């Protein structure tokens, strides 16, 4: 069953999702690639569902691995809209 | 995957399947109630970009898809201008997706509709399409990407809907400089209002459900997930049931409407279309939907398909009921080779330098 809260990360392309998969495997943070949920808009069809860790830990890990994403959302509880944690900023 | 989401995609599939059969009853060409590739080709003809007299009609369905997606994304807040992800590469890929689709005589959606009407020629096409996606995924896994798109000024997002309205006005007022087929598939059409309404509904549903023929198969290969593919299946089942009920189900290879039985070329044509769709990240229908949402890159892919359709007929590449000509065969093989080169050139170098970058990370640490 789905355990709340969890994160959902969207990506600019499928390649970026696969890159996320290959790099994040080594971090010990558990996640799964899934189709993007309907309530989130995204340019690519694949997202990563990440089991809950501290928000900063996730963001720092992703940043340190230089992984590109679109947005990071958090799902707090069932039947509630996810809230945006962070959007990718152009640097 | 929640149940609600599953319902939306299955319901969309049912609606698309039903509307497609309904449009053939109302006058659209047989097994071609909805075909994004054929309709874009007809639009190219209606605009006079090619002079194949049998396939000229500015089909209201296609601007309908775009405007349906535009309207619903405005309401849902997903309408935003974005672009800058390798537009020219997308144009060229869109071009060859169309060349491939017109070799088979149908987009992935019509492939499903043809299957549902008993046209077994669509079976090799289905395998070709799936294998083409698999081939595209090979490059995606190696690091192929056209790069991310960026937010662009919001005004850009209104261009494609505006072009769509312009196309509708052209059909509605029929000025003397546009073309209407007097015979052939281009002359077979549902009433304007029915076509437009069906297009709008399909556009809205496809936007909400993200229905995509390419995405469905990609997700099976990549995620072992059947969510999007269930939309594909529900289109098939709905159209199959309706075709049987209406006496439009004729299983076999021979004498299928607007089809040929050159299996190798049905296979390779859809291989090219599947490969290109995987590189674009969506089938021709999905490109229309994204274009309606404000994705300028998808709009460029759409224009690539429009130009590809024009070239297909001007250069004699497109197939007909008589089969695929030698020009068409050369174009398909060339297309597969060219897209392979494009895919290889867009494999990002940071994957090749994976070991090196990990080294430099370690050094930084």
Residue A38 is nearest to which of B8, B219, B290, comparing CB atoms?
A: B8
DSSP letter for A78, please.
Answer: T
Within a domain: A1:
no
Within a domain: A42:
yes
Q: What does the domain layout of chain B look like in residue ranges?
A: 3-349
Which value does ipTM take for this structure? 0.89
B294-315: average pLDDT: 98
Within a domain: A76:
yes
Token representation of residue A19: 């890159």
- B345-361: per-residue pLDDT in tens? 999 765 444 444 444 44
- B206-223: per-residue pLDDT in tens? 999 999 999 999 999 999
- How many beta-carbon pairs below 8 A join chains A and B? 76
CB contact under 8 A, B150 and A90: yes
CB contact under 8 A, A12 and B149: yes
Count of structural domains within chain A: 1
Secondary structure of residue A82 in the 3-state scheme: coil
Is residue B365's pLDDT more than 70?
no
d(CA B280, CA B15): 25
DSSP letter for A36, please.
Answer: P
Q: Is A27 on the interface with B (CB under 8 A)?
A: no
Token representation of residue A66: 């230089």
Q: B226 to chain A nearest CA, in Å?
A: 10
User: What residues of chain A lie within 8 A of the CB of B212, using their CB?
Assistant: 45
Chain B CA closest to residue A11: B148
**Structural domain that includes position A64:** 6-87
A75-86: average pLDDT: 88
d(CA B111, CA B194): 22
- B1-19: per-residue pLDDT in tens? 567 888 999 999 999 999 9
User: What residues of chain A lie within 8 A of the CB of B353, using their CB?
Assistant: none
Q: How many residues does chain A have?
A: 91
CB contact under 8 A, B218 and A45: yes
CB contact under 8 A, B281 and A44: yes
Q: What is residue A91's predicted lDDT score, i.e. its pLDDT?
A: 55
CATH number at residue A37: 3.30.70
Phi, psi values for residue A8, rounded to 5°? -130, 125
| Contact present, B111 and B242 (Cβ < 8 Å) | no
Mean pLDDT of chain A: 89
């Amino acid at each position: 069953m789905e355990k709340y809260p969890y994160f959902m990360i969207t990506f600019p392309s499928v390649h970026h999702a696969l890159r996320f998969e290959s790099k994040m495997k080594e971090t010990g943070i558990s996640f799964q690639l899934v189709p993007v949920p309907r309530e989130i808009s995204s340019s690519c069809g694949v997202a990563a569902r990440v089991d809950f860790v501290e928000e900063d830990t996730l963001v720092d890990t992703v940043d340190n691995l230089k992984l590109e994403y679109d947005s990071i959302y958090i799902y707090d509880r069932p039947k509630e809209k996810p809230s945006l944690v962070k959007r990718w900023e152009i640097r | 995957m929640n149940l609600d989401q599953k319902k939306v995609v299955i319901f969309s599939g049912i609606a698309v399947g039903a509307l497609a059969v309904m449009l053939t009853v109302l006058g659209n060409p047989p097994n071609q109630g909805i075909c994004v590739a054929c309709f874009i080709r007809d639009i190219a003809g209606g605009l006079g970009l090619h002079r194949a007299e049998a396939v000229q009609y500015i089909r209201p369905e296609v601007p309908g898809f775009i405007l349906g997606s535009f309207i619903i994304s405005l309401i849902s807040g997903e309408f935003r201008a974005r672009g800058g992800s390798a537009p020219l590469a997308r144009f060229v890929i869109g071009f060859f997706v169309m060349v491939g689709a017109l070799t088979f005589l149908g987009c992935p959606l019509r492939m499903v509709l043809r299957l549902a009407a008993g046209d077994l020629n669509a079976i090799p096409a289905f395998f070709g399409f799936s294998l083409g996606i698999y081939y595209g995924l090979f490059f995606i896994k190696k690091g192929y990407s056209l790069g991310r798109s960026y937010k662009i000024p919001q005004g850009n997002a209104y261009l494609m809907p505006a072009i769509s309205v312009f196309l509708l006005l052209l059909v509605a007022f029929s000025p003397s400089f546009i073309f209407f087929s007097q015979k052939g598939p281009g002359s077979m059409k549902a009433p304007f209002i029915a076509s437009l309404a069906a297009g709008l509904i399909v556009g809205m549903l496809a936007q909400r459900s993200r229905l995509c023929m390419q995405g469905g198969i990609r997700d099976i290969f990549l995620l072992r997930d059947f969510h999007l593919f269930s939309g594909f299946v529900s289109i098939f089942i709905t159209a199959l049931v309706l075709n049987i009920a209406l006496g439009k189900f004729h299983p076999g290879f021979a004498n299928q409407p607007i089809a040929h039985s050159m299996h190798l070329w049905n296979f390779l044509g859809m291989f090219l279309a599947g490969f290109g769709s995987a590189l674009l990240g969506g089938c021709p229908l999905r490109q229309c939907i994204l274009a309606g949402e404000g994705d300028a890159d998808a709009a460029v892919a759409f224009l690539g398909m429009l130009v590809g359709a024009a070239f297909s007929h001007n250069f004699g590449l497109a197939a007909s009921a008589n089969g695929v000509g030698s020009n068409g065969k050369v174009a398909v093989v060339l297309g597969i080779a060219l897209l392979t080169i494009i895919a290889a050139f867009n494999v990002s170098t940071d994957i090749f330098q994976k070991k090196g970058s990990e080294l430099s990370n370690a050094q930084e640490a």
